[in-house]
Amino acid sequence: MWRLAEDTLCTAEIHALADWLKRGERLTQGEKIKQFERAWASWVGSADSVFVSSGTTANFALVACAAELVERDTPRVGVSAVTWSTNVSPSLLMGHEVVVFDVDPRTLGLDEAQVCAAIEADEIDILFVTHLLGLDALTPTILATAEEHGVIVLEDCCESHGARHGAAKVGTLGLGGTFSFYFGHHMSTIEGGAICTDDAAFADRLRLMRAHGLARESANPAAYAAQSPNVDPRFLFVATGLNFRSTELNAFLGLGQIPLLDERIETRNRNMQRFLAGAPSWLRTDFHTAGMSSFALPLIAHDAEGAARAREVTDALGIESRPVVAGNLMAHPFMQGPRVRVAAGGLPHAEAVHAFGHYVGNGHHVTDAMVDELCAALRA
Ligand SMILES: Cc1ncc(COP(=O)(O)O)c(C=O)c1O
């Protein structure tokens, strides 16, 4: 059976965790998490990283802290029409205005012309880019236009660990980038997520957000204590915060997974290239694969007939599949509301992905023979 994903945690890693647990060390956020954060930042190529409980809470913390830097009362956040719900729901929960952009069919990332027009017309304050299915969603023009107009760029890299934009890994190109370590992603900590950033003050703010807004989470608690001499510094709340912490167990597992990533990404990318070379012409194979870290194999047809045919083939082979993430997010009930609007030009490419696309899993469990069988059945 070709499943969507197999666990990236192996039995030896669980045994290692069990042995470590027998040492009776403290299990709430502590040294292992600090160690993981250093290792993750170093692997991604950022100055710092903050480990949290999921990709979703990473997204929440990132958007919440970035929104504090926006002067406007209601920050306007630009998002992709094809992404996971929790790229957008933090903004909706916080009362932001959301502007939804179409995707580029070759990258499944943002439509450059539409995004740049909106930035030039001063329609957004924050651009939350999603690198979907491990493809590089950014372009030099989007980055340059955002910088020129003071738009804060955030990256959702929850499906793109190790993907590159040019020489840099994604997650390092804006103010912050988020990652998910949920089962089925490039690596797993069971549940887990991280935010990477090069900005020390921003990392400090993220750590306050992660843990109740407590001053002691800051790198400089004494400075906060001096500003509030009437409050006991042991419980001094200096920022609005929630609880997005993870545990030492998850960090222990993550530390074991990082060294395995490069080889796994190579396997994923080899599978994706083999699939694109073998797929028939009625499926889209013109993806921009430079720098990718493939998450899944996309079967996006040019029309409804092709889409039905592709689905018949994967179902007949017993291959587990899913829509291309949420398809067009605007088709989902949670997006209906007065604070969401679609950018000028509409979402024709997102609608095509929604109507004609589905994906099958990629990972270390997918072999050349499995890819070849799928391609042969599609071509037959
Ligand atoms: C693009 C994207 N963002 C965010 C998330 C949320 O991550 P998590 O499941 O760890 O909350 C996912 C989950 O798959 C995702 O694909």
Residue 90, both tokens: 């933090």
Distance of CA 337 to the CA centre of its chain: 24
Closest CA to ligand 1's atom 10? 55
- Among 264, 218, 249, 221, CA closest to 50: 218
| CB of 56 shorter than 6 A to ligand 1 | yes
What pLDDT is attached to residue 64?
98
What is the pLDDT confidence band of residue 8, given thresholds at 50, 70 and 90? Answer: confident
Contact 321, 378 (CB under 8 A): no
pLDDT of residue 271: 98
Q: What is the pLDDT of residues 331-355, one digit of tens each?
A: 999 999 999 999 999 999 999 999 9
- Position 184 scores a pLDDT of 87
Closest C-alpha among 113, 142, 245 to residue 192: 245
What integer is the mean pLDDT of 109-138?
98
CA distance 352 to 304: 9
- Alpha-helical (H) ranges within 258-299 are 261-278
Q: Which of 62, 159, 189 to mutate to test the pocket of ligand 1 (most atoms within 8 A of CB)?
A: 159
Confidence of residue 321 (pLDDT cuts 50, 70, 90): very high
Instruction: Tell me phi and psi for residue 206, to 5 degrees.
Output: -60, -40
The amino acid that residue 173 corresponds to is: L
pLDDT average, residue stretch 152-161: 98
Rg (CA), the chain: 21
Q: Are 33 and 251 in contact (CB under 8 A)?
A: yes
Cβ–ligand 1 distance for 179 under 6 Å, the answer: no
Q: Does ligand 1 come within 6 angstroms of the Cβ of 189?
A: no
The confidence band for 7, taking pLDDT boundaries of 50, 70 and 90, is confident
- Output the pLDDT for position 55: 98
Give residue 216 CA to ligand 1 midpoint distance, Å: 29
Phi (first) and psi of residue 236, to 5 degrees: -115, 115
Average pLDDT taken over every residue of the chain: 97
Position in ligand 1 atom list of the atom nearest CA 83: 1
pLDDT for the residue numbered 297: 98
* C-beta of residue 294 within 8 angstroms of C-beta of residue 133: yes
Domains and CATH numbers, the chain: 11-259 (3.40.640.10), 261-379 (3.90.1150.10)
Q: Give the mean model confidence (pLDDT) for residues 231-242.
A: 98
Residue 19 Cα to ligand 1 middle (Å): 30
- Asked whether the predicted pLDDT for residue 218 surpasses 90, the reply is yes
Instruction: State the maximum Cα–Cα separation within the chain, in Å, rounded to a whole number.
Output: 76
Burial (Cβ within 10 Å: 0-12, 13-18, ≥19) of residue 242: middle
Write the pLDDT tens digit of every residue in 101-120. 999 999 999 999 999 999 99
Segment 288-299 mean pLDDT: 98
Give Cβ neighbours of residue 312 (< 8 Å, ≥ 6 apart): none
Please give the pLDDT value at position 6: 87
Q: Tens digit of pLDDT for each residue in 167-185? A: 999 999 999 999 999 998 9
